[in-house]
Amino acid sequence: MARVALVTGGTRGIGAAISTALKNAGYTVAANYGGNDQAANQFKSDTGIPVYKFDVSDAAACEAGIRSIEQDLGPIDILVNNAGITRDGMFHKMSFDQWSAVIRTNLDSMFTCTRPLIEGMRERNFGRIIIISSINGQKGQMGQANYSAAKAGVIGFAKALALENANKGVTVNVIAPGYIATEMVRAVPEEVLKAKILPLIPVGRLGEAEEIARGVVFLAGDEAGFITGSTLSMNGGQYMA
Ligand code: NDP
């Protein structure tokens, strides 16, 4: 039986590439999303991957969503905590709503999506938890105090969880992407990209979502059992942590 993988925010952007790569690698995949039904339905019809709508910042909704995935597909052995949002602004102008939305979606989701699964992983002596952080959690970023706090927070979470579960066959790792050519980044005007962003990236180009997905497939494998508590920077050399 193929192992079952859940990808949060798995219907668009980097998450969609991760869902597709895991499916192509032979896993049974469930892709979660938050609200964009149109994108999710399109993704489902393009890929055949089932989609599950629940808000990763809502503990009760996650518990219910995860139980329904397990009922449909079987126990979840691989969790990719990918869903994330930005609500940028300089901290001295930031509202508590901006702060809190990002912390709830990007950091509370570590609890809400992992807690319902961790006991089962421990009982089955196998689990792979892969968390998508960001270069901006490693180095900080102007206008992203909320996002940088959350993305740094997930690295601490991963290390603690890795220690707690290392003797149970459950690994916990982080991938920290740099600038990836998703819709959001592609919308940046060409001249801004060339003048301001590409010069920061030694490799000289944006990353592709599929490149991040390759990292996830690698860490998800049964063969990756000796890697835990680590952070894999995938940023074209922009920041060497
Ligand atoms: P997108 O905005 O393209 O996609 C986000 C996905 O997360 C969507 O599927 C969205 O669902 C889902 N989502 C958002 N909020 C929730 C929620 N509350 N509950 C459930 N699902 C939710 O994001 P990216 O692909 O750009 O980013 C993916 C991850 O990678 C994020 O954690 C981001 O911080 C990180 N990252 C991205 C970088 C980049 O360059 N793009 C760089 C570094 C890190 P819906 O479609 O319903 O809105």
**What pLDDT score does 52 carry?**
98
| Listed residue (133, 145, 23) closest to 83, CA to CA | 133
What is the per-residue pLDDT across 83-139, written as a single tens digit (0 to 9) for each?
999 999 999 999 999 999 999 999 999 999 999 999 999 999 999 999 999 999 999
Going by alpha carbons, the residue nearest to atom 31 of ligand 1 is: 84
Q: What is the pLDDT of residue 187?
A: 79
Tell me how far apart the alpha carbons of residues 63 and 55 are, in angstroms, rounded to a whole number. 10
Between the CA of 211 and the centroid of ligand 1 the distance, in Å, is 16
Instruction: Please give the distance, rounded to the nearest whole angstrom, from the Cα atom of residue 35 to the centre of ligand 1.
Output: 11
Task: With a cut of 80, say whether residue 184 has pLDDT above it.
Answer: no
Report residues whose beta carbon is within 6 angstroms of any ligand 1 atom.
8-9, 11-15, 32-36, 39, 55-57, 82-85, 105, 132, 134, 177, 179-180, 182, 184-185
Q: Which atom of ligand 1 is the closest one to the Cα of 56?
A: 19
3-state helix, strand, coil in the chain (%, to 5): 55, 15, 30
- What does the block give as tokens for 5? 């993988």
Q: What is the DSSP letter of 201?
A: -
Query: How much is the pLDDT for 148?
Result: 98
Q: Of 27, 147, 179, 239, which is the active-site residue?
A: 147
CA angle 101, 127, 174 (to 5 degrees): 45
Residues 155-166 have a mean pLDDT of 99
138 Cα: distance to centroid of ligand 1 (angstroms): 18
Quote the CATH superfamily of domain 4-234.
NAD(P)-binding Rossmann-like Domain (3.40.50.720)
Among 14, 36, 174, 211, the mutation site with the greatest number of ligand 1 atoms within 8 A of its Cβ is 14
Q: What is the pLDDT of residues 190-234, one digit of tens each?
A: 898 899 999 999 999 999 999 999 999 999 999 999 999 999 999
With cut-offs at 50, 70 and 90, classify the pLDDT of residue 18: very high
- pTM passes above 0.95: yes
Q: From 178, 137, 179, 186, select the one nearest 158 (Cα to Cα).
A: 137
Domain locations along the chain: 4-234
What was the pLDDT predicted at 204?
A: 96
The values of phi and psi at residue 104, to 5°, are: -65, -45
Catalytic, 147? Answer: yes
Tell me, what's the pLDDT at 129? Answer: 99
pLDDT at position 76: 98
Q: What is the per-residue burial (b if ≥16 Cβ within 10 Å, else e) of 97-119?
A: ebbebbbbbbbbbbebbbebbbe
Give the position, in ligand 1's atom list, of the atom nearest the Cα of 57: 18
pLDDT at res. 189: 87
Cα radius of gyration (the chain): 17
Nearest CA to ligand 1 atom 12: 9
Distance 169 CA to ligand 1 centre (A): 28
pLDDT tens readout for residues 39-83: 999 999 999 999 999 999 999 999 999 999 999 999 999 999 999
The predicted pLDDT at position 79 comes to 99
Which atom of ligand 1 is found nearest the CA of 147? 34
